[in-house]
């Protein structure tokens, strides 16, 4: 691929973007810390989902020092509902390292930036382009898809993408491609007649726009039956247990649970006694690599659990299935709605 042969996309792309730019919350403040937070959140999560979580997170942690000084549990609680909690733990560790090693300033140097926990090539390029205005291509899924279609190739060459960035306009260029991919050049059923790049898009001319870029076949996710018992005591407090510090949903709090359909196993695992078990509607909870078919129960009981009043729940980082059961039993508790 010759970058010169694709450079004709820049003028119509930027002209379109001038009138079609999405007013996203995380674009309002381009300070390096705010950009870093946004890019951690945007990994594997749509921008419209991220917006409300981003606002809440930066209200509580307005700068890198505030984030670094917070407890891991508080950080996870403010990430509540966004999923992929390893991102929150890595962002927290990155903030602590920035304070300890970089005087509280997100490093401008690309190598120092890449050395931070959770900062890979994409996040480093995005921070470089959006916060430090370096001429870098931030190749997320939308950008890769648009460029692959314009070039009519199965995968875009990263060197070609970097060469296409118009000097001094990396922020606009990257955002324009992201917005185009999110709204018009979508993965399925792209709206080619409304696209500003129709005249320069090779895939559109060849009729291959739904064939490129190459799609990766998704692996079949195993389905695991999981039993959960929402235990309340005489004071109507919820009984919670903490998941292991490593692995799936590490460090989050949940109701006593166990694989299988037997609620007695979930209770016995945590030495909990319960009476008056009432079965609740079952539901499915999906991870990227696994599916839980959850069979939930409600019971009155006791045991060596962490007992939390309903009003305190928003301060506790809970698993998704736990939040779902709380909402079903008690309605949408303050601070728990998405």
Give yes or no: residues 171 and 129 share one domain: yes
259 Cβ neighbours under 8 A, 6+ residues apart: 224, 225, 226, 227
State pLDDT tens for residues 122-155: 999 999 999 999 999 999 999 999 999 999 999 9
Give yes or no: residues 20 and 94 share one domain: yes
- Please say if 39 is a catalytic residue: yes
Give yes or no: residues 150 and 269 share one domain: no
State pLDDT tens for residues 264-315: 999 999 999 999 999 999 999 999 899 999 999 999 999 999 999 999 999 9
Dihedral through CA 41, CA 47, CA 48, CA 54, nearest 10?
A: 30
Residues in the chain: 338
CA pair distance 213, 211, nearest whole angstrom? 6
| Least confident interval from 137-146, 177-186, 207-216, 258-267 | 207-216
Of 206, 238, 256, which closes a domain?
A: 206
Give yes or no: residues 192 and 262 share one domain: no
State pLDDT tens for residues 221-243: 999 999 999 999 999 999 999 99
Give yes or no: residues 50 and 173 share one domain: yes
Q: Which of 39, 172, 175, 254 is catalytic?
A: 39
pLDDT at position 1 is 61
State pLDDT tens for residues 82-103: 999 999 999 999 999 999 999 9
Nearest to 297 by CA among 251, 319, 328: 328
In this structure, what token pair is assigned to residue 54? 């981003």
Give yes or no: residues 236 and 192 share one domain: no
pLDDT band, very low/low/confident/very high, at 214 (cuts 50, 70, 90): confident
State pLDDT tens for residues 15-61: 999 999 999 999 999 999 999 999 999 998 999 999 999 999 999 99
Nearest to 301 by CA among 275, 282, 321, 268: 275
* Residue 5 scores a pLDDT above 80: no
Host domain of residue 281 = 223-330
């Amino acid at each position: 691929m010759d970058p010169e042969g694709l450079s004709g996309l820049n003028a119509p792309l930027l002209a379109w973007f001038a009138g079609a730019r999405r007013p996203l919350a995380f674009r309002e403040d381009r300070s390096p810390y705010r950009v870093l937070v946004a890019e951690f959140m945007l990994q594997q999560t749509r921008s419209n989902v991220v917006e409300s979580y981003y606002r809440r997170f930066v209200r509580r942690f307005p700068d890198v020092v505030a984030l670094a000084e917070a407890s891991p549990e508080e950080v996870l609680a403010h990430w509540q509902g966004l999923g992929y909690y390893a991102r929150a733990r890595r962002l927290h560790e990155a903030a602590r390292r920035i304070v300890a090693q970089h005087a509280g300033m997100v490093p401008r140097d690309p190598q120092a930036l890449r050395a931070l926990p959770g900062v890979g090539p994409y996040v480093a390029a995005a921070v470089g382009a959006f916060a430090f205005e370096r001429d870098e291509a931030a190749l997320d899924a939308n950008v890769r898809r648009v460029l692959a279609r314009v070039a009519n190739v199965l995968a875009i060459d990263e060197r070609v993408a970097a060469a296409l960035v118009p000097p001094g306009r990396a922020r606009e260029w990257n955002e324009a491609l992201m917005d185009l991919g999110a709204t018009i050049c979508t993965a399925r059923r792209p709206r080619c007649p409304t696209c500003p790049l129709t005249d320069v898009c090779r895939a559109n001319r060849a009729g291959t726009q739904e064939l490129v870029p190459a799609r990766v076949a998704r692996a079949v996710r195993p389905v695991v039956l999981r039993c959960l018992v929402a235990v309340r005591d005489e004071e109507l407090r919820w009984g919670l247990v903490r998941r292991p510090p490593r692995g799936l949903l590490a460090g989050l709090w949940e109701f006593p649970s166990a694989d299988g359909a037997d609620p007695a196993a979930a209770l016995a695992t945590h030495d909990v006694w319960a009476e008056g078990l009432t079965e609740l509607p079952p539901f499915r909870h999906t991870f990227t690599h696994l599916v839980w078919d959850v069979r939930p129960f409600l019971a009155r009981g006791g045991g060596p659990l962490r007992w939390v009043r309903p009003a305190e729940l928003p301060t506790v980082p809970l698993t998704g299935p736990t939040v779902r059961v709380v909402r079903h039993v008690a309605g949408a508790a303050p601070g728990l709605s998405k």
